[in-house]
């Protein structure tokens, strides 16, 4: 029975006569000719998604590279700052999916959704630098706590 067929990274989609042509699913019929036929299982590759790391404005080092293709609901193990990313007056504190939400650190996991993911570096200001920036009121860098422009570094 089709429900018991499994194949890694593939989904059973039906049967084909001699491995070609129309794909037949449960309950469908075909005309039987005068020769024996072989019904062969038809498999379709499951969609996969990737994880890309972004330095989010880092000034030095390199982002990790994850070469795994993940299926939906598969656990992704977050890599660390193995390329020693740096940013002046900021400390690397982890990664955020598309720059928002939970901050993940090395070894933590999340479940892959149904789209590619970008993990952006999360930067936290060094305390003495943050005080100076707030006092100077530098426009565009940290206009208000929690919003540091496109780099999303402060207060999130």
Domain range for 29: 2-45
For residue 155, what pLDDT is reported?
A: 46
Give the angle subtended at the CA of 131 by the CAs of 130 and 132, to the nearest 5°.
90
Q: How far apart are CA 156 and CA 91, in angstroms?
A: 14
For residue 26, what pLDDT is reported?
A: 87
53 and 27 assigned to the same domain: no
For residue 3, what pLDDT is reported?
A: 59
For the chain, how many structural domains are there in total? Answer: 2
Q: How far apart are CA 14 and CA 39, in angstroms?
A: 9
Tokens found for residue 40 = 């062969």
Beta bridge pairs of residue 121:
95
Residue 49, classed as helix, strand or coil, is: strand
110 and 99 assigned to the same domain: yes
67 and 135 assigned to the same domain: yes
For residue 131, what pLDDT is reported?
A: 53
* In-domain check, residue 12: yes
Please check the confidence at residue 70 and state whether its pLDDT lies above 50: yes
* pTM: predicted TM-score of the whole model, two decimal places: 0.67
User: What's the pLDDT tens digit per position in 86-129?
Assistant: 999 999 999 999 988 999 999 999 999 999 999 999 999 987 65
73 and 135 assigned to the same domain: yes
For residue 120, what pLDDT is reported?
A: 97
CB count within 10 Å of CB 119 equals 24
Beta bridge pairs of residue 39:
17
β-strand 51-54 against 117-125: which pairing, if any?
Answer: parallel
Q: How far apart are CA 115 and CA 10, in angstroms?
A: 18
* In-domain check, residue 125: yes
User: What's the pLDDT tens digit per position in 4-61?
Assistant: 777 888 888 899 988 888 999 888 988 888 999 899 999 988 999 999 999 999 999 9
What percent of the chain clears pLDDT 70, i.e. is strictly above it? 79
For residue 104, what pLDDT is reported?
A: 97
For residue 5, what pLDDT is reported?
A: 76
Task: Give alpha helix (H) positions in the chain.
Answer: 127-136
For residue 137, what pLDDT is reported?
A: 45
């Amino acid at each position: 029975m089709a429900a018991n067929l499994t194949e890694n990274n593939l989904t059973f989609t039906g049967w084909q006569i001699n491995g070609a042509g129309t794909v037949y699913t449960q309950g469908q019929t075909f005309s039987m000719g005068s020769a024996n036929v072989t019904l062969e299982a038809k498999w379709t590759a499951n969609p996969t998604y990737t994880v890309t790391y972004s330095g989010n404005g880092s000034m030095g080092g390199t982002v990790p590279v994850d070469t795994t293709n993940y299926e939906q609901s598969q656990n992704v193990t977050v890599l660390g700052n193995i390329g020693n990313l740096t940013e002046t007056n900021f400390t690397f504190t982890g990664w955020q999916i598309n720059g928002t939400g939970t901050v993940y650190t090395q070894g933590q996991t999340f479940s892959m959704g149904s789209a590619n993911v970008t993990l952006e570096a999360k930067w936290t200001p060094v305390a003495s630098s943050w005080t100076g920036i707030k006092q100077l009121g530098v426009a565009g860098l940290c206009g208000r706590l929690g919003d540091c422009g496109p780099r999303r570094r402060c207060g999130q």
